[in-house]
Amino acid sequence: MQLNELAARKGADVDYQKLVFDYTRHPDQDAAKPVRRPVVVVGAGPVGLALAIDLAQREIPVVLLDNDNTLSTGSRAICFAKRTLEIFDRLGCGDRMVDKGVSWNVGRVFFKQEQVYAFDLLPEAGHARPAFVNLQQYYVEGYLAERAAQLPLIDLRWKNTVAGVEQHDDHVTLTVETPDGPYRLEADYVAACDGGRSAMRQLIGQESKGRIFRDRFLIADVKMKYDGPAERWFWFDPVFHPNQSVLLHRQPDGVWRIDFQLGWDANPDEEKKPENIIPRVKALLAHSTMKDAEFELEWASVYTFACLRMDRFRHGRVIFAGDSAHGVSPFGARGANSGVQDAENLAWKLAGVLAGQAPDALLDTYADEREYAADENIRNSTRATDFITPKSEISRLFRDAVLELSKTQLFARTLVNSGRLSVPATLHASTLNTPDAESFAGRMVPGAAAADAPITRPDGSSGWLLRELGSGFTALVAEGAENDALARSIQDLDALEAPVKVLRVAISSNASDADLIDKDGALTQRYDLRPGSVYLFRPDQHVCARWRKPTAAQVKSAVKRALAIA
């Protein structure tokens, strides 16, 4: 099928795992000399699709190459975090994801049969999106592909495999293999989103380095009528799977993800056989309220993992995002989520550079910021993995001591680590931030991904802060004496390289002509707003500057700084 046929079938029962897209010969393949494109994205997985959509929404034409012609086979990544859902909202497919996905906020950790720790990842109200939805990767890719199909600026070419990369001062030349033979294609920039075994990475002679963990895990996705809660359950040393860990997640369509730790000595080929998986699932069920539940095996995989990354995510005009650039263990759901967050960081910067609003140096900040985020994700993932898979006798001794104490000692429960779940990195040290000159309370420091909050519009309708932010920069101006004049002068900054959307917010009820009203008080509290406070948000909804009472010149200077304009 063609991609646009998928858009037409939206809403119908689509088996996303069975879709096969047609290879179509592109006129570029017949061009006498290689055609130059602004951006080529390699890899149409969640990261490549998100990047292509974001760029197209920013009016940048994108060629998206995929070496295959199907979406994800098997559920693979299933936990999509709040920030990622907020990005999907911006990309125009958040509702699809959340409507289909299983929303959850609570995780429970058991030692043997006893709960020793529970966490609520979203303990406060006033957020549009839950902490997580569980959704099979083929749905995520399917919904992204449907959205991509609506955007004529995306030119998705199936069965196009990059086989050669030549870097030049002002462009990259790719050699692309197709069923009709190879062709050459030029790009101002190439984004390599081609996964953990990235061919792009190998083609430019780079590698991803780090720690490999000596342990094996079995994923069994099982379809069953089991009315368990929409929560993340994790067992250390359960009686039904002694001396190992087990993780249980609920997915849509009555599918349950069960992740069994097997140990390094397990034989992957044997463990993958249904006759060996089924007794493990039966043992789990035998210790639940669903002793005799009938189930069928949907998908199984035995995996090992490593925490690694490339030294640099930018190599000339080739920029790496997602698993091609970094890898983590699954405990913490930091793989696909950080990849989509890479894409969002890169999209506005590439668009700004290609539109001539920002210098090429802005792309270096993509690498700086996302390498920092990757380190944070790897640190969290490594810590969880060291707890789940202790690497030495002494490490195991302390792990077991923590679990033993956690039965009776509250403090020990905070040390139990079954995965610290994905939250967006706060880019504290980013050169794009304008450092605070005044004091603010709360978490919305320069570099933080914007926290959502409920808002009311002047017509009385309700909405969410994040959906009011513009696609470019946004200045949130809290009502105050001279603020109308300030709001007008920010709008009038015609010398600005990028326009700024101004949102005037009334933080008390007697506002006359505000754009937003904070009836709930959550916005004021989360951002520590006072009359006159101004927040500047980047196009990727990160705070980059804030003031108690700025001048328009200060706002302009912060926008330039956030565009890496020296």
Please give the residue ranges that form the binding site for another protein (CB under 8 A): 397-398, 400-402, 404-405, 409, 411-412, 415
CB 425 to another protein: min, Å: 21
Nearer to another protein, 14 or 412 (CB): 412
DSSP secondary structure letter of residue 458: T
Nearer to another protein, 240 or 398 (CB): 398
403 phi/psi in degrees, rounded to 5: -65, -40
Nearer to another protein, 202 or 409 (CB): 409
CB 119 to another protein: min, Å: 19
> How many other CB atoms are there within 10 angstroms of residue 542's CB atom?
25
Cα–Cα distance for residue pair 217/310, rounded to 1 Å: 25
> How many other CB atoms are there within 10 angstroms of residue 439's CB atom?
7
Contact 534, 547 (CB under 8 A): yes
CB 389 to another protein: min, Å: 18
Interior angle at CA 196, CA 193 and CA 200, nearest 5: 50
CB 340 to another protein: min, Å: 33
Q: What is the DSSP string of 398-411?
A: HHHHHHHHHTT-HH
Q: How far is CA 560 from the centre of its chain?
A: 27
CB 343 to another protein: min, Å: 35
Buried b (16+ CB within 10 A) or exposed e, 390-422: beeeeeeeebeebbebbeeeeebbebbbbbbbb
Q: How far is CA 148 from the centre of its chain?
A: 17
What are the contacts of 398-405 at 24+ separation with CB within 8 A? Answer: 403/111, 403/116, 403/236, 403/237, 404/111
Picking from 171, 207, 208, 204, the residue whose alpha carbon sits closest to that of residue 315 is 204
CB 56 to another protein: min, Å: 47
CB 405 to another protein: min, Å: 6
CB 394 to another protein: min, Å: 8
Cα–Cα distance for residue pair 39/48, rounded to 1 Å: 12
- Please return the burial class of 455, using the count of CB atoms within 10 Å of its CB with bins 0-12, 13-18 and 19+: buried
CB 211 to another protein: min, Å: 21
Nearer to another protein, 409 or 508 (CB): 409
- Please return the burial class of 552, using the count of CB atoms within 10 Å of its CB with bins 0-12, 13-18 and 19+: buried
Nearer to another protein, 303 or 398 (CB): 398
Nearer to another protein, 393 or 459 (CB): 393
CB 404 to another protein: min, Å: 7
Nearer to another protein, 374 or 403 (CB): 403
CB 243 to another protein: min, Å: 15
In sequence order, the 6+-apart residues with CB closer than 8 A to the CB of 359 are 353, 563, 564, 565, 566
CB 400 to another protein: min, Å: 7
Nearer to another protein, 296 or 404 (CB): 404
Nearer to another protein, 409 or 431 (CB): 409
CB 411 to another protein: min, Å: 4
Picking from 354, 35, 348, the residue whose alpha carbon sits closest to that of residue 187 is 35
Cα–Cα distance for residue pair 267/265, rounded to 1 Å: 6
CB 402 to another protein: min, Å: 6
Nearer to another protein, 342 or 386 (CB): 386
Nearer to another protein, 237 or 364 (CB): 237
Q: How far is CA 496 from the centre of its chain?
A: 30
Cα–Cα distance for residue pair 405/190, rounded to 1 Å: 52
Helix axes 483-491, 552-562, angle to 10 degrees: 40
Number of H-type helices and E-type strands within the chain:
16, 28
Q: How far is CA 39 from the centre of its chain?
A: 21
Residue with tokens 């990195």: 425
Nearer to another protein, 152 or 242 (CB): 242
378 phi/psi in degrees, rounded to 5: -65, -40
Nearer to another protein, 280 or 399 (CB): 399
